[in-house]
Structure 1
Amino acid sequence: MNDEKISVDNRDYVGALASGLEVLSAFDVQHKKMTLSEVAQITGMDRAKARRLLLTLHALGYIAKDGREFRLTPKVLRLGYAFNASNDHLDVVQHYLQSVTSELGESCSLSILDNDEIIYLVRSSAAHRLMSINITPGTRLPAAYTSMGRVLLAQLSAAEQKDWLARAQLLEHTDNSIVDKNRFVNMLKDVKQQGFCVVDQELELGLRSIAVPVFDYQGKLLGAANISTNSLRVSMQSLIDKYLPALQDAAKSITAHAK
């Protein structure tokens, strides 16, 4: 089999499986427990369909039921463990991200693109907390307003970027947020050309980050790595002069050792 994706109207597409995974994905930090009505609303399914899927996942042990509320069980960790076990390079990534944190005292992460969001795969956390939410592997953030997201979007082809922007919503999280799509496209061109991206307080005030793409030894894109910091503590000049070289060195080391 090749890596070509099939469309939803393809006869090999299993809609029930896709819907079940959609229900599992509906549970997150903001929705740790949900009622049937809440699951139906978030997924856009009718209550009858959502109920059947929830009860099936409950029977399989992936979802627990507490009164009217549903929640994920530890069994879902098997899916994440299988991913980690089949991606040996993540241990290499963790090692070099931790070296950046040790050197600079800042959090360092690697993420991949998933439609309109990035998913954190590896995280080396600093002692201080930067965001209003606790970021761990599996955390999702809007790709448009994170340095890692923009680096990953910049790696897409022009056609892929056009399709992405056609469906994307550019929201004003802060006064600094880019909401004009033409400006966003030009920004992605600059990111691709310079090989890194800085996002300054566009997602949260005070949050400043810098990211670079990370490839394996064959040139395959593994994701994007970033350093996140506080705008009051680290200047833009320091971010470029000190933090960027450390991040680029880590990315090169990952490339050399990610087999």
Structure 2
Amino acid sequence: MSTGDTERGSERDYVQSLERGFAVLLAFDEEMTTPTLAELAAKTGLSRPAVRRLLLTLQRLGYVENHGTRWSLTPRVLTIGQHYTATNARIELAQPHLLRLAERTGESASLAELDEFDAVYVARVPVRRIMNINVAVGSRVPAHATSMGRVLLAWAGPARITRFLEEAPLRAHTSRTITDPAELRMALSEVREQGWSIVDGELEEGLLSASAPVRDRTGAVVAALASSTSAGRLAPERLREETVPLLVETATAISTELGWSPRTPPVVRDGFF
């Protein structure tokens, strides 16, 4: 359990209106770019009067704007993500490493962090579009079906892994997706043992990716570095032989700049499996 989990406070410290405000903001997506008040109420499960008050508040703060019966986000929403990037030194530090990795492999390079049941892209150097979903900084992908997610989960600690296996929706995205908790636990054990992950066609048919862990000065895994390609461009064997060594080398370089040393004692989490 993270420090944040132990310092969440009691229920009386919980501001429900803030939660509802974020629920309304997050209801805007590529399928509902300019929703009506009624559509937002249906998606969030909130009453129309509540959604109206939240929208008017967000409008006053500059995060949404009104177009008759429809609403849209404003560019000010982007500043929320920019604040995270600006206060996270490893993202800026990793960017030149991602660029060099992309140049050496000819494939997209990404950095991701774990958030609940998803791996979230926090930095990316795209080379070519290989996924049907639109991937950019801030995009979320299911951790169980991606190499990034498995790297992040493999070193997440026993409590986090158990909660994930019990609560995460292990949806089958393709016929190859691992959806059995016991099988996924074994896959995470293998990732931890070998020090990297390859996932072939589990999120999307033909999508092939490899990931390696990025560590901070304490040795804790704080991010996953990934290189993605298509099965038509590179066979899994070649990815393992040619890309994985570059990936591990680059992840080690980023970790070293974050203060990690191969001599740093690993973070011990007893009872991993």
Shared fold, TM over 0.5: yes
Tell me, in whole angstroms, the C-alpha distance in 2 between the residues paired with 1:31 and 1:195. 40
Larger CA deviation: 236-245 vs 176-185:
176-185
Displacement of 1:218 in angstroms is 3.4
Displacement of 1:111 in angstroms is 0.9
1:62-211 pair list within 5 angstroms: 62-126=63-127, 128-211=128-211
AA at the equivalent of 2:58: L
Aligned pair in 2 of structure 1 residues 220, 61: CA closer, same or farther (>3 Å)? same
Aligned pair in 2 of structure 1 residues 116, 31: CA closer, same or farther (>3 Å)? farther
Q: Summarize deviations over 1:65-90 as a string: whole Å, max 9, x none.
A: 22222221111122122112212221
SS where residue 237 of structure 1 aligns? helix
Aligned pair in 2 of structure 1 residues 155, 40: CA closer, same or farther (>3 Å)? farther
Tell me, in whole angstroms, the C-alpha distance in 2 between the residues paired with 1:220 and 1:27. 34
Alpha-carbon contact 2:152-2:222 (below 8 Å) kept: no
Q: Could you tell me which runs of 5 or more consecutive residues in structure 2 were left unpaired when the two chains were aligned.
A: 260-273
Aligned to 2:8: 6
Count of aligned residue pairs for this structure pair: 256
SS where residue 78 of structure 1 aligns? helix
Displacement of 1:220 in angstroms is 3.8
RMSD: 1.7
Aligned to 1:239: 239
AA at the equivalent of 2:125: S
AA at the equivalent of 1:11: R
Displacement of 1:33 in angstroms is 2.5
Aligned to 1:56: 57
TM-score normalized by the length of structure 2: 0.88
SS where residue 32 of structure 1 aligns? coil
Alpha-carbon contact 2:216-2:258 (below 8 Å) kept: yes
Tell me, in whole angstroms, the C-alpha distance in 2 between the residues paired with 1:82 and 1:62. 15
Tell me, in whole angstroms, the C-alpha distance in 2 between the residues paired with 1:29 and 1:149. 23
Larger CA deviation: 230-239 vs 79-88:
79-88
SS where residue 245 of structure 1 aligns? helix
Larger CA deviation: 211-220 vs 238-247:
211-220
Displacement of 1:42 in angstroms is 2.8
SS where residue 34 of structure 1 aligns? coil
Q: Summarize deviations over 1:114-168 as a string: whole Å, max 9, x none.
A: 1122211000111x21011221101111122111111111122222212122221
TM-score normalized by the length of structure 1: 0.92
